[in-house]
Amino acid sequence: MKAIVLGASHGGIEAVGALRLMCPKVNVQLYDKGDFFSSSAKDLESIQQQGVTIFGNTEITKVEPGKHQVEIFNHETGERRKEGYDKIILSPGAKPFILPVPGYHLKNIGTMSSRQDLFNMRKHAIDPDIKNVVIVGAGYIGTGAASLFAESGKKVTLMDINNRPLSSYLDKELTDVLEKEMKDRDVELALGNSITEFVGDENDRVIEVVTPKGTYSADLVILSSGNRPNTEWLRGAVKLLPDGRIKTDEYMRTSDPDIFAIGDATTVWYNPGKMRMNVSLGTNARRKHIMQ
């Protein structure tokens, strides 16, 4: 049996490891349109030692369930080809939402939605030239980023259009405790706020974030105000939810029983709410599911 895994971020890497562990005789191919730069050498070496064939800078552009095949484009050579599969695991991820306000293009405005982003953020956390960090979006990603940079000695401002951090996930009783903890760690909370402009210097590097409630100094801005699933190209191949995410069952199977989906492009079971919802965290993307 041949299994194709699309995407080498958190979910894809974990899926490959699970496949080799549970189905050691399966022919596994891993495709990513990036160059695997953000993947650790240890991860790549381990994957290759397990007999997995890795294709970097290679994008799967179309899935054809009826033919059990995919269309592939090699960004380095320009070659296009087709490859058959028995099972395929989709981990196409999501695109971070970029606020459409003046200055959004400035340098040192980034996101935390991929392994490469996390790699970059760790470098920024130890950069002595970055003193003021503004984080836009107080969900799981934003509050995690605030903790990272506060512990690194940065002056952190956490902004959100809502009046509470993690307001989509936690009741006020818990977010009150969270707010106190953040303030005790010198994180400034600018909640119930919105961005009107990013201001840059002569080198097009961000220096200020302008809001209706005030202006905040910024050597680095992290945008974590939601994302959009990278699934439009899958329309017609699998069933999509109204928000564009891939519909899956409890085994992460899509509308086609031989196609599975994981990560930010789909939903997970959220125990507190007793419902399926999108929770864009690496921990959710890495959950193992057995192919039936």
Encode pLDDT of 234-248 as tens digits.
999 999 999 899 999
In the chain, % of residues over pLDDT 70:
88
83 with 104, same domain: the answer is no
Q: What does each C-alpha distance from 60 to 15, 57, 110, 258 come to in angstroms?
A: 17, 10, 26, 16
Q: Do 50 and 134 fall into the same domain?
A: no
89 closest CA partner among 274, 256, 273: 256
| Same domain? 217 vs 103 | yes
In this model, does residue 40 exceed pLDDT 70?
no
Q: How confident is the model at residue 42 (pLDDT cuts 50, 70, 90)?
A: low
pLDDT in tens, 146-163: 999 999 999 999 999 999
Cα dihedral across residues 84, 75, 228, 234: positive or negative: negative
102 contacts 191 by C-beta, under 8 angstroms? no
C-alpha distances (whole Å) from 284 to each of 15, 22, 211, 218, 246 are 12, 19, 33, 31, 15
- Identify the domain boundary among 185, 208, 223: 223
Domain assignment present for residue 26? The answer is: yes
User: Has residue 257 been placed in a domain?
Assistant: yes
10 Å Cβ neighbour count for 202? 6
User: What pLDDT, on a 0 to 100 scale, did the predictor assign at position 104?
Assistant: 93
| Contact assessment for residue 31 and residue 60, using Cβ atoms and an 8 Å cutoff | yes
Residue 249 CA: distances (Å) to CA of 36, 86, 114, 260: 30, 19, 25, 9
The DSSP letter of residue 253 is: B
Pair (189, 252) in one structural domain: no
Give the domain range for residue 124: 98-223
> Does the residue 291 lie in any domain?
no
Q: Which of 189, 205, 223 is the last residue of a domain?
A: 223
Do 59 and 87 lie in one domain? The reply is yes
Residue 89 lies in a domain: yes
Q: Given this model, what pLDDT does residue 93 score?
A: 86
Query: Is the pLDDT assigned to residue 292 strictly greater than 50?
Result: no
Look up tokens 């057995």; give the residue: 290
Residue 75 lies in a domain: yes
Mean of pLDDT values over 189-198: 96
Give pLDDT, residue 269: 65
Q: What is the chain's length?
A: 292
From the number of C-beta atoms within 10 Å of its C-beta (0-12, 13-18, 19+), residue 6 rates as: buried
The reply to whether 183 and 102 lie within a common domain is: yes
Which CATH number belongs to the domain containing residue 121 in this structure?
3.50.50.60
Could you give the number of structural domains in the chain? Answer: 2
Confidence of residue 11 (pLDDT cuts 50, 70, 90): confident
The pLDDT of residue 279: 62
Between 273 and 125, the higher pLDDT residue: 125
Name the β-bridge partners of 72.
Answer: 60, 81
